[in-house]
Amino acid sequence: MGLALASGPAFAGPSGCARPGISGARELDQFLSLRAVEVVRLAARSGEGLAALIAPSASFDLGAGDVGRPLGTGVDGARALAQAMKADTYRFLGWDYMDMPADPCSKRKVEVEFIDSQGKTVSRVQFTFEAGRVVSADGWERSFETGRL
């Protein structure tokens, strides 16, 4: 099953710190969350541009049950993460706090949930960014149930 994710805002080039002009935490949080989605989307499709968004030494881990699973580093680690999650949709929470100044080049963390609707699993992954590039992604996969109220 392919990954059907919407593409986020225009992403910065390989050397950019996130995106020039971002000065608030709310906008930066949304931008980096969408960048994490873009990383997974590209990794699932072996898309070009993936290496520009990931540090070569970036680590990727996805635990399940009571076992942690290191998946590798760099582009290969990102591809292993996307393959393991089999996501067809994503979700992240908004910055619902008072906005405050934020440095787009600083170390920042965002959390995104990737959902495999068919397999009924959700992977909650925390991405760490430095200068707009992923330096680590650590997550845990869980089963879920949904229903109408």
Confidence at residue 46, expressed as pLDDT on a 0 to 100 scale: 78
Q: Is the pLDDT of residue 16 over 70?
A: no
Report how far residue 17's alpha carbon sits from residue 19's, in angstroms, rounded to the nearest whole number.
6
Q: Which DSSP helix (H) or strand (E) runs through 77?
A: helix 74-85
Domains of the chain by start residue, with CATH: 25-143 (3.10.450.50)
User: Higher-confidence residue: 7 or 45?
Assistant: 45
Report DSSP state, residue 80. H
Instruction: For residue range 58-99, list pLDDT tens digits in order.
Output: 999 999 988 999 999 999 999 999 999 999 999 999 999 999
pLDDT at position 42 over 60: yes
- How many whole angstroms separate alpha carbon 42 and alpha carbon 14? 15
* Spatial CB neighbours of 21, under 8 Å, sequence gap ≥ 6: none
Q: Which strands form 133-143's sheet, in the order they lie side by side? A: 70-73, 54-64, 133-143, 121-130, 108-116, 89-91
Q: Can you say whether residue 131 is alpha, beta or left, with left for phi > 0 and alpha for psi between -120 and 50 degrees?
A: left
- Per-residue DSSP letters for 5-71? ----SPPP-TTSSS-TT--BHHHHHHHHHHHHHHHHHHHHHT-TTHHHHEEEEEEEEEEETTB--EE
Confidence (pTM) = 0.87
Q: Which pLDDT value is given to residue 23?
A: 81
**Whether the predicted pLDDT of 139 surpasses 70:** yes
